[in-house]
Amino acid sequence: MNLTALDWAAVSRLREIFLEGKPLRRAYWESENDLAAYDLTLGERIGWKWDAVLTELKARNWSPPPGPLLDFGCGSGIAGRRVVAAFGPSHFSALHVHDRSPLAEGFALKRAQTAFPKLTCERLKPEELTATTPLGTLLVSHVLSELPPKDQARLAALASRAQCVLWVEPGTQSDSRALIAVRELLRPDFAVVAPCTHDAACGLTAPERTEDWCHFFGRPPWEIFTDSAWSEFGRRLGIDLRSLPYSFLVLQRRGLPSATTCVQGCSRTLGHARIYKGYAKVLTCEAAGVADLTLQKRDAPKLFKALKDGEAEPLQRWERTGDRIVPIDG
Ligand SMILES: C[S@@+](CC[C@H](N)C(=O)[O-])C[C@H]1O[C@@H](n2cnc3c(N)ncnc32)[C@H](O)[C@@H]1O
């Protein structure tokens, strides 16, 4: 990160706006400089969340269907570029960007064209937003909390026209809950690819689970912890660089080749395990629902340590007796 060129005032102003997490009446990108500073810092952190999601999807051997990719609420376009880089520019017929800020659209386009000179990169035509024709892959990243309910409903309607939806949000309780609402709304027509290991109703919609939410933690690249520029960024903005929470949702239209078979029988750990003396409590999600289960340290010392260090794989196969679990795969 090039600190000398960084506009700290711009990054701090943007951070304040994002912390508010409320719909705003006006676009907040004031200059290309804002977008460049965001892209290098706050945007890059979002890029690491996408890296975690895309790594998981690729490990499942899953890719979105070929066709156009639409980055809705593109900002500096970092999420669109991560997705194109992950699956390869030739996988998509075009990258379309849309943002209520024309400045952001222009910036995202320029960066994408530089990164992928052979890919067609265009602004989404305004009439496409309200058309009824099918869309390719819809990508949404860190937008939901900025939309008033009316615009959230419009975005859900846009998603309902897609072949595939890739959606990442910050990992707060309210963003996770909003994503769950989208999942349940679209589930009749869409299969759930991730994070769920099943296609049933979301277990967090059960009345006894209203306090819980579906979130995970990405891992920033280790190099940043020895980089004075990133330390300065963390210090000035009061951001703990180690913590990278996110929620996500990947859906594909029913009828496309299934991607969930390889995770059938797996449970997914939500959030961090809670560590106690000699045991861990793990909030697990599977087709039967979400349950708070107990792993004894003596039953799986290696996994216990990985849970303690926040390094355990989120997908596990458990043998369960009452609320006690033992990993099947050792
Ligand atoms: C926090 S930024 C995220 C940018 C980018 N998606 C990312 O992940 O880095 C949210 C973006 O949503 C855009 N946005 C907010 N309301 C919007 C709306 N109603 N329609 C389109 N874009 C909107 C903002 O202009 C901003 O670029």
Residue 281 sits in the same domain as residue 247:
no
- Rounded to an integer, what is the distance from CA 176 to the centroid of its chain? 10
Low-confidence ranges of the chain (pLDDT < 70): 258-262, 330
User: Is 2 contained in some domain?
Assistant: no
Considering 256, 283, 314, which residue would you say is the last residue of a domain?
Answer: 256
Mutate to test the pocket of ligand 1, among 82, 146, 151, 172 (most ligand atoms within 8 A of CB): 146
Residue 289 sits in the same domain as residue 205:
no
pLDDT for the residue numbered 270: 97
Residue 39 sits in the same domain as residue 89:
yes
Residue 281 sits in the same domain as residue 146:
no
Residue 181 sits in the same domain as residue 276:
no
Ligand 1 contacts (CB < 6 A) are 18, 27, 43, 46, 73-76, 78-79, 99-101, 104, 141-143, 146-147, 151
Residue of minimum CA distance from atom 10 in ligand 1: 143
What is the whole-number distance in angstroms between the Cα of residue 245 and the centre of ligand 1?
19
Structural domains counted in the chain:
2
What is the whole-number distance in angstroms between the Cα of residue 151 and the centre of ligand 1?
12
What is the residue range of 276's domain? 265-327
Q: How far apart are CA 209 and CA 37, in angstroms?
A: 39
Residue 224 sits in the same domain as residue 321:
no
Which residue's structure tokens are 């589930």?
Answer: 187
What is the whole-number distance in angstroms between the Cα of residue 47 and the centre of ligand 1?
15
Q: What is the CATH number of the domain that holds 148?
A: 3.40.50.150
Considering 256, 288, 313, which residue would you say is the last residue of a domain?
Answer: 256
Q: What is the pLDDT of residues 11-47, one digit of tens each?
A: 999 999 998 878 887 889 999 999 999 999 999 999 9
Tell me the helix, strand and coil percentages in the chain, rounded to 5.
40, 25, 35
- Measured CA angle at 176 (ends 20, 208), to 5 deg: 120
Can you give the pTM of this predicted structure? 0.96
User: Is 134 contained in some domain?
Assistant: yes
Q: What is the pLDDT of residues 88-123, one digit of tens each?
A: 999 999 999 999 999 999 999 999 999 999 999 999
CA of 43, closest atom in ligand 1: 9
User: Is 225 contained in some domain?
Assistant: yes
Residue 125 sits in the same domain as residue 71:
yes
pLDDT for the residue numbered 330: 64
Instruction: Please give the single-letter amino acid code of residue 66.
Output: P
State whether residue 88 is helix, strand or coil.
coil
Residues 280, 286: contact at Cβ < 8 Å? no
Considering 205, 237, 256, which residue would you say is the last residue of a domain?
Answer: 256
CA of 71, closest atom in ligand 1: 6
Q: How far apart are CA 133 and CA 155, in angstroms?
A: 15
Residue 209 sits in the same domain as residue 60:
yes
User: Is 107 contained in some domain?
Assistant: yes
Q: What is the CATH number of the domain that holds 316?
A: 2.40.50
Residue 136 sits in the same domain as residue 175:
yes
Residue 133 sits in the same domain as residue 13:
yes
Residue 174 sits in the same domain as residue 321:
no
Residue 69 sits in the same domain as residue 26:
yes
pLDDT for the residue numbered 257: 74
